Chain A
Amino acid sequence: MTIQISQLHKSFGQTEVLRGIDLTVADGELVALLGPSGSGKTTLLKIIAGLDWPDAGRLDVDGQDWLRLAAQDRRIGFVFQNYALFPHMTVRDNIAFGLTVRPRAERPGRAQIARKVDELLGFLQIEALGGRYPAQLSGGQRQRVALGRALAIEPTVLLLDEPFGALDAAVRRDLRRWLRGVHDATGTTTIFVTHDQEEAFELADRVVVMDHGRIQQIGDAATIHDAPATPFVADFMGATVALPVTVRGGSVAAPGVDASRVVAPGLPDGPARLFVRPEDLVPVPDPAGPWTVASISNTGSQLRLVLADASGAEVPADLRRRHPAAQGLSPGARVHLRPEAASVFPV
């Protein structure tokens, strides 16, 4: 199923939660929605599922206008952030729910439903848990049941809202790989929400970065990492150090900064901001440099330095301990800064 979203707007009272979302998801694609808390990810997902309605915009799936379709007619597999398993039903009954509520004419027979549930329990590797109630399951097991319940209806589209949010790191990694396997086996068009970058990039074909109800960038890991489209994406992707610079003729300059390795092609002349990751910021010992090493802490393989200038502004820099530049750096040493890779945006 191809999902086409255009100019979707949604407000709750005075707050604009979605401000013109345009997004196309190809048939069979696995897309991640990545963004900070409150950026509108859940709202977008709910609108696609028919659990919420936009104020304006279009939502077409395979050419059909889904805004005219009630939630129960969209055949969406929705996996909720807190799983939302039916507490008074066993795992089997939870998984079978979507099949048993079909109108009589389309409802599969009892035996057929049982077979389907068995098949899913096996596929989800939770055969032994069929008779348990959700309260008797671990987080990871609930997650699998929630996914099984969604898959049982053979959904046209699978939507997952922070599917691994509440799980510990090891289980997350396991389930991540396993979800990718499920997707590859079923080929269902899938959108999942996360605020874990690693998860988004490892799992998804494409990542959609959202902030404040707008899509900031769509792309794969390398693109978003190396060429952030907006200052927000740069900062969100870890380039948390922002230095004021001046652009002239496509090259970047600032006092105390050696920006020779940074290119800013096509940028208009004038003031700009340079975003760099602490690990891409190399302090170079320089008696005339305007920055002073304020502190150094050793985390084993890394040195974390805090550099301060005369005005008291501080920036962090992470350096491999064996990096050549690390020699001769001690608190009080004067340096200039050399960004190894950075992105520059006009102010």
Chain B
Amino acid sequence: MSLASAPPVRARAVLPGFRLTFGTTLLYLTVIVLIPIIALVIEGAGIGPARLWDIVSAPRTRAALRITITAAAVATVINAVYGLLMAWVLVRYRFPGRGLLDALMDIPFALPTAVAGLSLTALYSANGWFGAVLAPMGIQVVYTLGGIILAMSFTSIPFVVRAVQPVLEKLDPALEEAASSLGASGWTTFRRVIFPAIMPAWLGGVTTSFARSLGEFGAVVFIAGNLPFKTEIASLLAYIRLEEYDYEGAAAVALVLMVLALVLLFLSNLVQIRAARYGAVTA
């Protein structure tokens, strides 16, 4: 009996071998994700803790970080509420133009962020469509914190919508029927049955939205005006430092942003793992 005709001991997978796919994935991950992060950390560590603290606690850096975090937080709260609502409307109601609205939801992802920034600036500047209406009311968006929030919110809202949408779609309608036959009102059903089911996905979307807002650059720089201490965001400051050949300054700011984003993603994963404990949420 020849070896070649012996049946394989292990069941064969459909895709090409594990080693090839895993190797490719690992290589890709290393080059695209891991090495830049490691470089950033080493660069940051090379500065030394004292120097790092000096850079981060410098008034201009502090101001930039404060502005970035504040704007990202507000934008995320808006996205958390509005994105959930948006997903709800897209999943639960059938109305003319729903398909179009659904497609529009991807525009912030597809649009180059610079284009987004330019169009937002055009819309909200004193003689733009919206700006012209808001200006007489004394509301200025362009070159203010409001503008930054707007740009961040615009570019990151799909994260929330697209995270919640599929989970909501797959939610077993019998769960809601069960709740209402047990006497729960619509609001109680949402609070105690629907929301807990979509919460992990929603939280994941919200966290990603926040992380993205922290780092948003293209859309923000056009509308922000970039005044140091007023409307200068952290990633712009890092860029400016780089332009000034101040690699340490750039790395320090970038490191802070990265640590913030990683901590957030870690927390959100923790919540999602806890939620996964009770298994499948959908039908």
Report which A residues bind B (CB closer than 8 A).
Answer: 46, 49-51, 70-78, 80-82, 84, 86-88, 97-98, 101-102, 133-136, 149-150, 153
Contact = CB atoms under 8 A, between A and B. Distances in A.
A71 B180 contact: yes
A59 to B, nearest CB: 15
Interface stretch (B35-43, B61-69, B169-177): B169-177
A50 B281 CA distance: 25
Given A84-B175, A86-B175, A87-B197, A97 B278 contact: no
A84 B188 contact: no
Given A101-B184, A153-B183, A84 B178 contact: yes
B176 to A, nearest CB: 9
B98 interface: no
A78 B177 contact: yes
Contact of B181 (A76, A82, A133, A134): A76
B220 to A, nearest CB: 37
Interface string B109-136: 0000000000000000000000000000
A88 B278 contact: yes
B182 A97 contact: yes
7 contacts: A72-B183, A80-B178, A87-B281, A88-B281, A98-B182, A133-B279, A134-B278
Contacts of A81: 174
Max count, chain B CB within 10 A of own CB: residue among A50, A86, A102: A86
A135 B179 CA distance: 18
Contacts of B188: 101
Nearest to B172: A84
A134 B280 CA distance: 10
Contacts of A49: 177, 181
Contacts of B184: 72, 97, 101
Main secondary structure of the interface of B (DSSP, over half): helix
Given A82-B172, A84-B174, A135-B279, A97 B179 contact: yes
B180 A72 contact: yes
A101 B178 contact: no
A86 B181 contact: no
A27 B241 CA distance: 82
Given A80-B177, A82-B172, A82-B283, A149 B277 contact: no
Contacts of A135: 278-280
Max count, chain A CB within 10 A of own CB: residue among B183, B192, B277, B278: B183
B181 A71 contact: yes
A80 B174 contact: yes
Given A49-B181, A136-B279, 16 more contacts: A46-B177, A51-B180, A72-B182, A74-B181, A75-B183, A80-B177, A81-B174, A82-B172, A84-B175, A86-B175, A88-B281, A101-B179, A101-B188, A101-B192, A133-B277, A133-B279
B274 to A, nearest CB: 10
B193 A86 contact: yes
Interface residues of B, number: 24
B275 interface: yes
Contacts of B197: 87-88
B28 to A, nearest CB: 34
B278 A82 contact: no
Nearest to B199: A88
B228 interface: no
B196 interface: yes
A101 B278 CA distance: 22
Interface string B186-204: 0010001100110000000
Contacts of B172: 82, 84
A80 B278 CA distance: 20
B185 interface: yes
A71 B186 CA distance: 11
A98 B183 contact: yes
A75 B183 CA distance: 7
A262 B179 CA distance: 53
A76 B175 CA distance: 15
A51 B175 CA distance: 12
A55 B128 CA distance: 52
Contacts of B196: 86, 88
Given A88-B275, A101-B184, A78 B178 contact: yes
A334 B32 CA distance: 82
A102 B179 CA distance: 11
4 A-B pairs closest in CB distance: A135-B279, A98-B182, A84-B174, A133-B278
Interface string B148-173: 00000000000000000000000010
Contacts of B175: 84, 86
A135 B182 CA distance: 21
A70 B179 CA distance: 13
Given A51-B177, A78-B177, A87-B197, A101 B279 contact: no
A22 B277 CA distance: 47
Contacts of B183: 72-73, 75, 98, 101-102, 153
Contact of B279 (A72, A73, A80, A87): A87
B168 to A, nearest CB: 15
A192 to B, nearest CB: 15
A263 B275 CA distance: 66
A79 to B, nearest CB: 9
Nearest to B174: A84
